[in-house]
Structure formats: structure tokens, C-alpha cells
């Protein structure tokens, strides 16, 4: 069983970027829980702690123009070209890869619990999260997952 399984939901969620020119609409399966990542790639792209929740690609509808940045050979980060809001991260090497949406764009996600913290040994002092959620160190994560070579602060 995946750690996310108890948090799987099906339904509608609506979000938007800061300026409102990008609309994010979910109608289908998503995970009502947040995973945080403290790798330098995620930290730098957000400018602070990075966290996201997943939605099934066939449930997602986007309105408005977006800009994309290939932050790794296997993933892209998508943002609003007008206001700069980070919108989502997504693996590009699998057609069925989930969208990993920035939770603050969706008002309802304020209730989603934190269930996972990756690169937990790299958490900056200003973003150390209390609780008994799952923690995965850099070494543990990189042993099992694709990552950016030489990920260093």
C-alpha cells in the first residue's frame, strides 16, 4: 500500500495563480495530502520550502498560458509567465505521471495534512516541520529514485 492511499479522493478542486490568468481545475482523482521536498532544485525554484499534492493527469484541466522549465532531464516545472507563481512539477518521462500541484493555489488544500518529507536531512532551519510524518533522507531517496546529478545547495 502506498503511503498516499488513505488520502486518495475523487472530486473537484479549483485553483488559480496569483494574477488569476491561469486556472487549475481538477475533476477526478487526487491525493488530499502534501509531500514536501528539500532538495536544492525544489528549494531554489520556490525560494523557500517546496510542497505539493498529486492529481491524476486525466483529471486535470488548465486554462490560460503557462511557461515551462525543464529543471531535470526527467521533470519540468511550470509557472505563470505573467505573475511567476509556481504551478506544478511533473515528470516528463511518463505519460501518466501525476501533476504535483502547489497547494497554496487551491484554497481547499489548506486542510491537507503533511505526510512525507523528502531530503529531510537537508531541511533549512526556517522550514523544519514537526510531526510524525514519513521522513526520507537524501541518501535514502537517491538510492531509489532519479535525481539531479550532484544535487548540492
Q: Which residues bind Zn ion (CB under 5 A)?
A: 17, 19, 21, 37, 39, 42, 80, 82-83
Nearest approach, Cβ of residue 114 and Zn ion (Å): 15
Nearest approach, Cβ of residue 138 and Zn ion (Å): 10
Whose Cβ is closer to Zn ion: residue 11's or residue 143's? Answer: 143
Residue 43, classed as helix, strand or coil, is: helix
- Closest to 85 in 3D by CA, of 112, 53, 34, 46: 46
Whose Cβ is closer to Zn ion: residue 13's or residue 80's? Answer: 80
Nearest approach, Cβ of residue 53 and Zn ion (Å): 15
Nearest approach, Cβ of residue 12 and Zn ion (Å): 21
- Closest to 109 in 3D by CA, of 44, 49, 26, 37: 26
First to last CA, the chain: 33
Whose Cβ is closer to Zn ion: residue 21's or residue 116's? Answer: 21
Whose Cβ is closer to Zn ion: residue 13's or residue 38's? Answer: 38
Whose Cβ is closer to Zn ion: residue 49's or residue 82's? Answer: 82
Rg value, the chain, Cα: 15
Instruction: Report how far residue 112's alpha carbon sits from residue 150's, in angstroms, rounded to the nearest whole number.
Output: 32
Nearest approach, Cβ of residue 11 and Zn ion (Å): 25
Amino acid at each position: 500500500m502506498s503511503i498516499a492511499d488513505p488520502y486518495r479522493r475523487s472530486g473537484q478542486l479549483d485553483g488559480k495563480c496569483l494574477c488569476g490568468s491561469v486556472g487549475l481545475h481538477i475533476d477526478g482523482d487526487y491525493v488530499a495530502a502534501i509531500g514536501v521536498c528539500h532538495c536544492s532544485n525544489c528549494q531554489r525554484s520556490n525560494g523557500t520550502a517546496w510542497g505539493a499534492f498529486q492529481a491524476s493527469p486525466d483529471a486535470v484541466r488548465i486554462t490560460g498560458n503557462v511557461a515551462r522549465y525543464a529543471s531535470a532531464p526527467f521533470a519540468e516545472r511550470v509557472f505563470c509567465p505573467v505573475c511567476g507563481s509556481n504551478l506544478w512539477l511533473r515528470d516528463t518521462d511518463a505519460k501518466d505521471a501525476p501533476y504535483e500541484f502547489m497547494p497554496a493555489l487551491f484554497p481547499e488544500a489548506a486542510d491537507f495534512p503533511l505526510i512525507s518529507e523528502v531530503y529531510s536531512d537537508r531541511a533549512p532551519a526556517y522550514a523544519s516541520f514537526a510531526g510524525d510524518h514519513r521522513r526520507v533522507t537524501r541518501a535514502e531517496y537517491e538510492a531509489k529514485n532519479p535525481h539531479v546529478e550532484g544535487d548540492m545547495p
